[in-house]
Amino acid sequence: MAGEQFPGAYLSKLRAHSPRLLPLAISPPMLDNRPDLFALFPSTQHKTTMSTKALHNITVLDMTEAMAGPYAGMMLGDLGADVIKIERPGVGDMSRGWGPPFIHGESAYFLSVNRNKRSLTLNLKHPEAQSVFHRLVQTADILLINQPRLASLQKLGADYDTLSALNPRLIYCSITGYGMTGPYAGRSGYDVIAQGESGTMALTGGPDDPPTRFPSPISDITAGMYTAMSALAALVGRQHTGKGQFIDTALLDSQLAWLPNIAGSTFATGKRPPKLGNNHPTITPYEPFEAADKSFIIGVGSERLWARFCEVLAINDTIGSDPRFRTNTDRLQHRTELHAQLQAIFSTQPAAHWLALFRPLGIPSGSINHVDEILNDPHIRARGMVVEMQHPSAGDFRALGNPMHLSHTPVSYRLPPPTLGQHTDEILQGFGYTADQIAVLRTDQAV
């Protein structure tokens, strides 16, 4: 299917589930000539129903703030779960105040990771609010929480022992900097600390650069993904055991998990890995180059690709026959010389020229884009990776879509990120509270 677009029926299905999906700039669908694709992505002329959402009957209580927990909650919400975001009255998730940029007073950061959620305000320091919370817990499937100190959780009535006694089927997901076990348990942790302590900052950047932070909160996002995966595994496990369980996700563990090959090399050699910048530790050429107009990147990851690479560049009689570059092992030993010779070639033409040579031959290569360029790329739009939603305060705004593409239970974008406490009355009424009871809770500052 290389070079083909997703079949039109599947794209139509995506739009049916996500009506705010941005218009797609694509060529005519290839489905008519590919009957095998009907089996993979059957035409869906039926109306969207709750059963087409993988987690349609799952309730998630999201008590987290910032990025890691909210990201996990958003992933579960995109898959169809009813995610109730529990926030502090008058304050809410701390990321509501993170900016600029703001869109009509709403934090772009908060908007980016809180769709498909309903907001309920609860002051868990108040006994009546704890009673409300415990009523919600009794029928919930998953709880997301990012408080690292057990004593604080016990004070709020939100520790695992208390909640699992109320609901033995509850899947309790703790997300903290260091986890709930080990000598660092209880320490406060942020993404940048995990990046530093995991070894990744020491490896990022050029050889002469200081330790460099990855620009997005990668340990937060990774912890959110592992939490969501763990929760889904626990849901399957619950089908066999009838019981929930405790999930202990740490930012530091999650960030360290980015280093399997580098850790493997360190275990094997006992040596500290060098800081290689854009160079791959075991493959070359596998790096960026400067064309006449912009940077691009290539990945010549096998001897077969190296032969094609030399042929299309017409360098078989020069670089291709040089004994210093005959095998990948040879090329690694003479990486600097090889890069210089290739760079002299690539600087003579624009990036598009080289990419047009490499791509038809299956030589992995691509532009090095700026963020605004990739967000407007037609392939990214065709993949549904940019979505537009309408917010009650911010109006129309755009955000990244979900990269999970499921043919029968696709993700959906049903609710924009909530305003603070937007659904408090609706949620409480759904759990049996009357208007008078809700009014009392407000008067008592419990909600």
Contact between 422 and 95 (Cβ < 8 Å): no
What is the β-pairing status of strands 386-391 and 365-367? unpaired
Q: Given the structure tokens 């992505």, which residue do they identify?
A: 41
Rounded to an integer, what distance in angstroms lies between the CA atom of residue 218 and that of residue 426? Answer: 35
Side-chain half-sphere exposure of 8, counting CA atoms within 13 A: 10
Backbone CA torsion sign across 138, 76, 82, 85: positive
Rounded to an integer, what distance in angstroms lies between the CA atom of residue 219 and that of residue 339? Answer: 32
H or E element: which one contains 219? helix 218-241
Contact between 201 and 211 (Cβ < 8 Å): yes
Q: Specify the 3-state DSSP secondary structure of 35.
A: coil
User: Which position among 220, 248, 293, 372 bears the catalytic label?
Assistant: 220
- Is 220 one of the catalytic residues? yes
What is the β-pairing status of strands 386-391 and 106-107? unpaired
Q: Cβ contacts of residue 199 below 8 Å, gap of 6+?
A: 256, 259, 262
Contact between 257 and 222 (Cβ < 8 Å): yes
DSSP helix, strand, coil percent of the chain (3-state; round to 5):
40, 15, 45
CA angle at 173 for the pair 169 and 174, rounded to the nearest 5°:
140
Active site residues: 220
